[in-house]
Amino acid sequence: MVRYIRQDESQRDKPIGVESPRCPVCGAELDEDDYRLRHYSQLGCWSCPSCKSAAPALDVVASNIREVPEGFLIDIADSTEQLGGRDFAVNDVLVPCTGLYMVYNLLAVRIATALLGCPAEVFRDVVATFDPKNGRLQEYAVGGRAIMTNMAKNPVGFNQNIHMALKYPALYAVAFLMDDMVECNGDYSWVDGIEFSMLRSAVEAGVPVFYGGEIADPLDRALSAAQITAERADTVADVLAKLADDGARKLFVIANYHALERVCAELDRLQATTKQS
């Protein structure tokens, strides 16, 4: 099962969150010259100069990807007849989420639902009305301010979230909150791989950036290394207090897995209090 996305050259973004991909057949390291198209991390259309392997032929394709205020519009089509003889095609699917990785996720969902016999019209309607309630791309409103939460587990995830915020067409602010990750055993050197430098021009244009949580120090170090001026704020309430005089900005709260639950619980309380008042 292949879930690559085909995009026109004019639509593609520059690769972000780039790791050091290796050929899944022989293990040779691949570089940019080995990619015809690269979306982010190791995802894209590659060929290996060592063993001559290449990205497999596409089974199901997302194309005509258009950014709209609500997220993405995409078309899904079959490329082969290898997946159970099902019809996967459906046009103008509204993906009400930002982040190119959501297009990959939707391809996987379409494959699974089509194999289970879900009609294209039902799939389109369900996706368009999807409203996550687990903190991932979840929308809140507190005191008239729009807030979106999302989770990031590693540099690629953080970079995708930064890229998502940078594409927001109106005023916004960004907060990075991280709590202790026991599996890291105190080693947070991976935080240095987050490309905070992508925010530099936005910060220079007046976008506020905040950071905090139980392990704020690695964030502080990485932000400083990227020459990003940011304020310490350990909770959403702290961030909102610092933004009190600028109610027009949407707030993107990017939290690691260990901070997301308490962030959402805090926002649930704040949102409920706002509605009651």
Q: What residues does each domain of the chain span?
A: 32-128, 138-276
d(CA 221, CA 163): 20
212 near 233, Cβ under 8 Å? yes
CATH 3.90.190.20 is held by the domain 138-276: yes
DSSP notation for the chain: ----B---TTTPPPPBS----B-TTT--B--GGGEEEEEETTEEEEB-TTT--BPPPPSEEEEEEEEETTEEEEEEEES-S-STT----EEEEEE-S-STHHHHHHHHHHHHHHHTT--HHHHHHHHHT----SSSSEEEEETTEEEEEEE--SHHHHHHHHHHHHT-SS-EEEEEE----GGGTT--GGGGGS-GGGGHHHHHTT--EEEESTTHHHHHHHHHHTT---EE-SSHHHHHHHTTT-TT-EEEEEE-HHHHHHHHHHHHHHHHHHHH-
138-142 vs 145-151, strand pairing mode: antiparallel
| Nearest Cα to Cα of residue 222 among 200, 189, 252, 254 | 189
- Along the 277 residues of the chain, how does pLDDT read in single tens digits? 333 344 433 334 444 444 568 898 999 998 888 888 877 677 788 999 999 999 888 888 888 988 887 778 999 987 666 566 678 889 999 988 766 778 888 899 999 999 899 999 999 999 988 877 778 888 899 989 999 999 998 898 899 899 889 988 899 999 999 999 888 888 899 999 999 999 999 999 999 999 999 999 999 999 999 999 999 999 999 999 999 988 789 999 999 989 999 999 999 999 998 876 6
pLDDT recorded at residue 141: 93
List C-alpha distances in Å: 25 to 22, 33, 52, 129, 219. 9, 18, 9, 40, 36
Can you read off the two tokens belonging to residue 223?
């932000």
85 near 117, Cβ under 8 Å? no
d(CA 89, CA 120): 7
pLDDT recorded at residue 76: 92
pLDDT recorded at residue 5: 41
